[in-house]
Amino acid sequence: MKKNRPVNLDIGTIRLPITAYVSILHRVSGVVLVGGILLLLWMLDISLRSEEEFNSIRVSLEQPIYKVILWAILAALAYHLVMGLRHLIMDFGLGETLEGGKLGARLALFLAAVLIILSGVWIWL
Amino acid sequence: MALVTAVTSLGRSGLADWLIQRVTAVVMAAYTIFIVAYLLLNPELSYAQWAELFSQTWMRIFSFAVVLSIVAHGWIGMWVVLTDYITTRLIGGSALFLRTSVLAIYLVINFAFIIWAIEIIWGY
């Protein structure tokens, strides 16, 4: 085999399609959730300890910093869930063509954006 | 059959990992939708009502199934990500050591996570 044959697998030099960005973000949101789930379990722990500690979560969530952190976790969860659903749908053979994949990615991105906005509304209103 | 059976993958085969990833995803999605719906339907949720929900046997089983799903799903996901980005091609000869170390730390975190979750689910 020729040692100096041309190779172009440097992903940084290739213009990526929407499906690639959607996939990379699926990975990023998954890694974020590995940390986020610890915070959610911590909240569950506190919420079940006693009435006082249960109410302390409501008080803590008045602070903007906690609202932002919770929103970030819910955003990652919403995005990851929608993209996972897209995978399940594609496992059944829907949206597997190049155009179908791009359309599915756009629809999933739109649905994820709606859910992320709604979770923000839920936290701030 | 895969040419190389990766010792650190969860199901030891891509097909097993593929299936585990989907089954655990459905369990976690159902739980997420249930909890969000419950919180939306009970905006004035009290401690008594919340504690009552988590004292139900079915809720404890559902919650624990989700905990195990999180661990399995997270392991497969992190394995895929780590074996894609912490590679000899991308970061050099230390990749194998670094990747194995990160997975070892993640294993300990998962173990602690399960113990902690059991304490929460059956402790209150």
Q: What pLDDT is recorded for position A83?
A: 97
Distance from the Cα of A99 to chain B's closest Cα (Å) equals 24
Q: The domain A17-124: what is its CATH number?
A: 1.20.1300.10
Boundaries of every domain in chain A: 17-124
Q: What does the pLDDT average to over A12-30?
A: 92
> What confidence tens digit (pLDDT) does each residue in B54-110 have?
999 999 999 999 999 999 999 999 999 999 999 988 888 999 999 999 999 999 999
CB contact (8 A) between residue A88 and residue B22: yes
Boundaries of every domain in chain B: 2-122
Q: What does the pLDDT average to over A23-50?
A: 97
Who wins on pLDDT, B47 or A5?
B47
Q: Is the predicted pLDDT of residue B1 greater than 70, yes or no?
A: no
Q: Could you identify the residue written with the tokens 């509304």?
A: A121
* Burial of B28 from C-beta contacts in 10 A (0-12 / 13-18 / 19+): buried
CB nearest A34 (choices: B26, B74, B117): B74
How far is Cα B118 from Cα A51, in angstroms, rounded to an integer? 21
- Alpha-carbon torsion angle A99, A102, A107, A112, nearest 10: 160
A47 touching chain B per CB within 8 A: yes
Q: Is the predicted pLDDT of residue B32 greater than 70, yes or no?
A: yes
Other beta carbons less than 10 A from residue B113's beta carbon: 19
- Closest-CA residue in chain B for A30? B77
Chain A residues within 8 A of B81 when measuring between CB atoms: 27, 30-31
The number of angstroms, rounded, from the C-alpha of B105 to the middle of its chain's C-alpha atoms is 15
Q: What pLDDT is recorded for position B5?
A: 64
Q: What pLDDT is recorded for position A14?
A: 82
**What number is the ipTM of this complex?**
0.91
Q: What does the pLDDT average to over A52-80?
A: 96
The one-letter code for the residue type at A4 is N
Statement: B2-122 belongs to CATH 1.10.10.10: no
Q: Is the predicted pLDDT of residue B37 greater than 50, yes or no?
A: yes
- Identify the CA nearest to B65 among candidates B35, B38, B30, B39: B30
